[in-house]
Amino acid sequence: MNRRRAGVAMLVLLALVLVAGSQARLLAHPLEEDAGRRLLYLPNGRFLQVASLGYPTFVADMIYLWSIQFYGGYSDRMDRFAYLEHVYGQVIARLDPRYVDPYLVGALIMVIEKKDVEGALKLLDQGMAANPKDWLMPYEAGFWAYDTAHDFDRAADYFRRTMEIPGAPASTRRLHAGMLNKKGDKATSLLLWSEILAEAGEDRVRATAANHVHDLQIDVDLGRLNDLAARFQARAGRPPRGTEELVTAGLLPGVPLDSDGRPYVFDPVTGEARSTSPFRLRRR
């Protein structure tokens, strides 16, 4: 009996040594560390849609949770981001196209970790197409286009799309106006800021809008004056000495004044129109 017990104990010990020993070696195995390899086995969402047998949203949840743990953990391997678009755009988005958070989180990881703002905007575009009533995705895309890609044209377009969706925050109009200004469409930006100023309910918003209107009005006027100065030069063969000369030449109905009621002047050296009032906002 004792020999039998000793035999069983030996067997248990042997099994434990086998498990613990192999486990220790396996954990240090290069295959174990190959993060990207695990993703190779994640099937396409179109297949998973069928294989989920009526539980596609649940499978989408589980893969989303897994992705948070996978991409949230620290690793210095860059190849783990190689399948980001596959995980979020091909798998989760196909399983549940209306699942908004994975689009936002996927885009965030693409921008911050993978430094792939184009991929992020593509993923958010896919999310917008599937969720046209959700304002968060165009808002987020506008932010990434502005802050990271510095593509003010696209940012303005994303913010325009955001502000057209019911429920979008009021600040989106200001962001849209700001992007138009940054991309150089100062006339439209002035129009939008003027509307925001007229409708502003809060003192803070009113003050911000007033500052933008002040500076944009000067910008728009200077642009127009420079155009007229060029036409004057073409006729007279010299730049105008002041705005009065443009009135005399019939190019302006009256002497224009800037936002502070001061006249514009022309630089005697460059011939460029400039304002005698300081801009209220920092120029970039």
Partner 1 sequence: MRMAVAVAVMTFREAVRDRILYLLLAFALVMIGAARFLALLTVGSEARIVADTGMAAIAFFGVLTAIFVGVSLITKEIEKRTAYTILARPMTRTIFVLGKYLGLLMTLWVNAAVMSAGFVLLLALRGDPILPVLPALWLTAMELAVVTALALFFSALATSSILGILFTLGLYVAGHLVWSFPLLAGRLAQGWGTRVVMLVYYVLPNLDRFNVRAAVIHGDAVPLEFIALQTAYGMGWSILLILAAAFAFSRRDLT
Site of interaction with partner 1 (CB under 8 A): 50, 53-58, 61, 64-65, 68-69, 96, 98-99, 101, 104-105
Strand duo 264-266 + 273-275: pairing? antiparallel
Q: Please provide the distance, in angstroms rounded to a whole number, between the alpha carbons at the two ends of the chain.
A: 90
Closest distance between partner 1 and the C-beta of residue 72, in Å? 8
**Which of residues 98 and 231 has its CB atom nearest to partner 1 in the complex?**
98
Q: Looking at beta carbons only, is 133 or 204 nearer to partner 1?
A: 133
What residues does 257 pair with on adjacent strands? 263
Contact indicator for 114, 71 with CB cutoff of 8 Å:
no
Q: Which is nearer to partner 1, 99 or 264 (CB)?
A: 99
Cα separation, 177 vs 167, in Å, equals 18
Shortest distance, CB of residue 58 to partner 1, whole angstroms? 4
Closer CB to partner 1, 56 or 138, in the complex = 56
CB 189 within 8 A of CB 231: no
* Closest approach of partner 1 to the CB of residue 112, in Å: 13
| Closest separation in Å from C-beta 99 to partner 1 | 8
Which residue, 20 or 65, is less far from partner 1 as judged by CB? 65
Q: Around 129, how many Cα atoms within 13 Å sit in the side-chain half-sphere? A: 9
Of residues 140 and 215, the one with the C-beta less far from partner 1: 140
Closest contact distance (angstroms) between CB of 57 and partner 1 is 5
CB of 103 to partner 1, least distance (A): 11
